[in-house]
Homo-oligomer: A and B are copies of this chain.
Amino acid sequence: MKQLSPKQKEIRDRESALLDSAQDMLLSRGYLGLTMDRLADAIGVSKGTVYQHFSNKEDVLAAIAVRSADTRAALFERAGSFRGRSRERMAAVGTAAELFFALYPHHEQAERTVRASTIADKISPKRARNMESCTFRCFGVATGIVRDAIASGDLTLRDGQTVEQLCVGLWNLYTGAFLMRELENFIDEPVVNDPMPTLMANAQVFLDGFQWKPLSGDHDYSATRERILREVFPEEARAAGIDAH
By CB atoms of chain B within 10 A, which of A31, A205, A208 has the most?
A: A205
Interface size in chain A (residues, C-beta < 8 A): 58
B176 in contact with A171 (CB, 8 Å): yes
Render A193-234 as a binary contact track against B, CB cut-off 8 A, 1 for contact: 001001101101111111000000100000000000000000
- Collect the chain B residues with CB atoms within 8 Å of residue A118's CB: 29-33
Given A164-B192, A205-B209, are A175 and B171 also a contact pair (CB < 8 Å)?
no
A206 in contact with B201 (CB, 8 Å): no
| Residue of B whose beta carbon sits closest to that of A205 | B209
Which of A39-47, A93-101, A146-154, A177-185 is the interface stretch? Answer: A177-185
Q: A165-B198, A175-B179 are in contact. List 12 more A-B contacts (CB 8 A).
A: A29-B118, A109-B117, A112-B183, A115-B183, A165-B201, A168-B202, A172-B174, A173-B176, A175-B175, A175-B176, A205-B206, A209-B210
Interface class of chain A by DSSP: helix
Question: Bound state CA distance, A30 and B120, in angstroms?
Answer: 10
Partner pick for A160 among B116, B132, B165, B201, CB 8 A cutoff: B201
A31 in contact with B116 (CB, 8 Å): yes
Interface residues of A (CB under 8 A from B): 29-33, 109, 112-113, 115-121, 128, 132, 135, 139, 158, 160-161, 164-169, 171-177, 179-180, 182-183, 185-188, 191-192, 195, 198-199, 201-202, 204-210, 217
A172 in contact with B176 (CB, 8 Å): yes
B171 in contact with A205 (CB, 8 Å): no
B164 in contact with A191 (CB, 8 Å): yes
Question: Bound state CA distance, A146 and B158, in angstroms?
Answer: 26
| Residue of B whose beta carbon sits closest to that of A139 | B191
Nearest-CB distance from A109 to chain B (Å)? 6
